[in-house]
Amino acid sequence: MTQTTASNYYRIDGADSETGQETYIVLRARSKPHAERLAAKQGILVSTVRIAKPGDWDEAPRSAAPAPAVELADVPETQPSMKPLTATAPLERLPSPTAQLANHRNVEPSSILLAFIGAAMIVGGVLALALALWPDDQIRNELQQIDFRLHELSQAVLGSMLVLGGLVLFLVAAVFHSRAR
């Protein structure tokens, strides 16, 4: 299996997804769509992508002492945090630790949250059904008996809907989890 190397530096203009502040990064990528994907993984809401010009590095803040150029051999697309750096290139924004954890485990936090909510709905539904079907042998007149039966019926409908909704949420969480892989 051969790995292809990135061949161009691209300037990606956009906004920081956490702060909303306008920013840009310069990174090395195989193509414009690849550069856009790498920037999105680093939390940049992409506005424009173009091939970097020498002036793009001139606009970046300079450090006190120039650093030596560092070149990394074949950088695969699956590891965007390992990019070649040069003395004149601006520092590239690294992904947040939570994004790295989500990428590492390939699990969307939304699928986990949906699974927990689905489990809570199922437990609540089972409890509502148990209360609706709990035997009660009190003596009641006809009006009280009708009121009690309507109350049991509403609890049974509520419990059934909660269980059904929980199962649907489990299904949605499974779909999100399978798309993350």
Q: Model confidence over 28-56: pLDDT tens digits?
A: 888 888 888 888 888 888 988 988 887 77
Among residues 24, 58, 93, which one ends one of the domains? 93
pLDDT band per the 50, 70, 90 thresholds, residue 17: confident
- pLDDT of amino acid 129: 92
Using alpha carbons only, give the angle 10, 13, 19 rounded to the nearest 5 degrees: 135
Assess whether 73 and 127 both reside in one domain: no
Assess whether 149 and 74 both reside in one domain: no
The angle that helices 142-180 and 109-132 make with each other, rounded to 10 degrees, is 160
Assess whether 115 and 84 both reside in one domain: no
CB distance 39 to 14 below 8 Å = yes
Number of structural domains (the chain) is 2
User: Would residue 99 count as lying in a domain?
Assistant: no
pLDDT digits (tens, 9 = 90+) for 84-136: 544 444 555 555 555 555 555 555 678 888 889 999 999 999 999 998 888 88
Q: 120 is in which domain, residue-wise?
A: 106-180
Question: Count of alpha carbons within 13 Å of 32, Cβ hemisphere only?
Answer: 8
- pLDDT of amino acid 67: 35
Assess whether 21 and 88 both reside in one domain: yes
Assess whether 115 and 168 both reside in one domain: yes
Q: Is the pLDDT confidence value at 138 over 50?
A: yes
